Copies of this chain bind each other. A is one copy, B any other.
Amino acid sequence: MSMSLFDRVAIVGMGCTRFGEHFCLGADDLMIEAAHAALSDAGLQVDQVDAFWLGTQISGWAGVMLAKPLKVQYKPIMRVENFCATGTEAFRSACYAVAAGLCDVAMAVGVEKMKDSGFSGLELPAISAEGTGVDVTAPAAFAMMANAYFHKYGLDPQKGKDVLARIAWKNHRNGAKNPRAQYRKEVPLEAIMKSPLVAAPLGVMDCSGVADGSAAVIVVPAEEAYRYRSDPVFVKAVTSVAGPGAGTLDTEWDQTTIRETVTAARLAYAQAGISDPRRQLSLAEVHDCFTPTEMILMEDLGFSERGRGWQDVVDGVFDLDGELPVNPDGGLKSFGHPIGASGIRMLFEAYLQLRGQAGPRQIPGARTAMTHNLGGLPWECVTAVSILGREPGPI
């Protein structure tokens, strides 16, 4: 990619439903709530939006499914889908259109209805290339990463379980402060450690839940952002990287890193001018689909040195009052994972934090935020990363 999105696009409105069991609401209802919250936040009517992107994986077909609930009148509406990174990919698309000067106001909406879809999450079969792979469940795929990591760095099983539980404990503690989270209770470490086994070493409490939800974001050219509000949020980078299948193409891969994440983060830092993410970021929302994912991401995103991520977790570096808060909103762990919505839900927390609107979760003086959204499995996935800033100009 030859050029960067740095300071070319800004967010001027966002909305997010509560995530959870919405048995009485359809995807339509959830999109209406999120999109109108974003419009209201930006002070816009739907007919002032020039183009739309809809991110959903399993809740319907085609952008046209957004037309009727929002009463969109003959505008471009495109559906995008990239596994669990779908939400951020819808946002990336909207940013591209604005950056190209092809629209003045673009909206990305992410939505998923999971709870009555028969999609349990735990039973999700892994994706394998036709004829070349073995099907595993998602928890098993990420459990293998945990075991590989513990083996490589000499953590015994009990110590490993302690580290993973610390991540779930932190995220539920943060989520307890968030009115939009699905689960809003702190969970004692003891209960996490003793949760029923799903795929060793992961228990139920190491897995994110299944939820319904929707989130929406409105972007405009950065130079016009202050016309919409006094406190817009500036896009410093959006990158996306799809993998070639480390598991089959790379015999050196030892399951303790997600290469797509390493590359997407590196490109995003370059676009945003970040050399020391641990110090330069005020917060990060990362894809904690399972607790070992978050542990390994701390290293892949450059927050911890290789082999040190687990120790930083235990030391509280990523706690809400730590050196670099990670998943201050509670993460997938507290929100559950309505696939198309999660990436934009992450952006929503960044948007609140950077504008000082995160209430009891507010990180004092937050200036720069990262979101990290992963779709697929450790050995072949999409990683979409964004970096947002409170102000225009260098980070």
- A-side residues, CB < 8 A to B, are 1-5, 26, 28, 50-52, 57, 61-64, 66-68, 71-83, 89, 92-93, 96-97, 99-104, 127, 129-130, 239-245, 248-249, 259-260, 263, 375-376, 380-382
Contact = CB atoms under 8 A, between A and B. Distances in A.
Nearest to A73: B244
Contacts of A77: 82, 240, 242, 382
Contact of A62 (B64, B76, B83, B99): B83
A242 B67 contact: yes
B130 A74 contact: no
B5 A67 contact: no
B100 A100 contact: yes
Contacts of A71: 244, 249
B243 A74 contact: yes
B28 A72 contact: no
B75 A242 contact: yes
Could you say how many copies of this chain the assembly holds? 2
A101 B100 CA distance: 7
B67 A375 contact: no
Interface centre among A76, A260, A375 (most CB of B within 10 A): A76
A68 B66 CA distance: 32
A66 B100 CA distance: 25
Contact of A61 (B73, B81, B93, B239): B81
A264 to B, nearest CB: 8
Interface SS majority for chain A: mixed
Given A2-B104, A52-B242, 11 more contacts: A1-B51, A2-B101, A62-B127, A62-B375, A62-B382, A67-B244, A68-B129, A68-B248, A76-B242, A78-B93, A79-B80
A52 B244 CA distance: 13
Contact of A50 (B1, B26, B380): B1
Contacts of A99: 100-102
A80 B62 CA distance: 9
A62 B62 CA distance: 14
A230 to B, nearest CB: 24
A315 to B, nearest CB: 31
Given A57-B61, A375-B62, A382-B62, A72 B242 contact: yes
Contacts of A83: 61-62, 64
Contacts of A68: 129, 244-245, 248-249, 380
Contacts of A92: 76, 78
A327 B290 CA distance: 51
A81 B82 contact: no
Nearest to A133: B68
14 contacts: A1-B50, A1-B51, A1-B102, A2-B50, A2-B101, A3-B100, A62-B81, A63-B382, A64-B83, A68-B244, A76-B239, A78-B80, A78-B240, A96-B102
A237 to B, nearest CB: 11
Nearest to A381: B64
Contacts of A244: 67-68, 71-74
A28 B101 contact: no
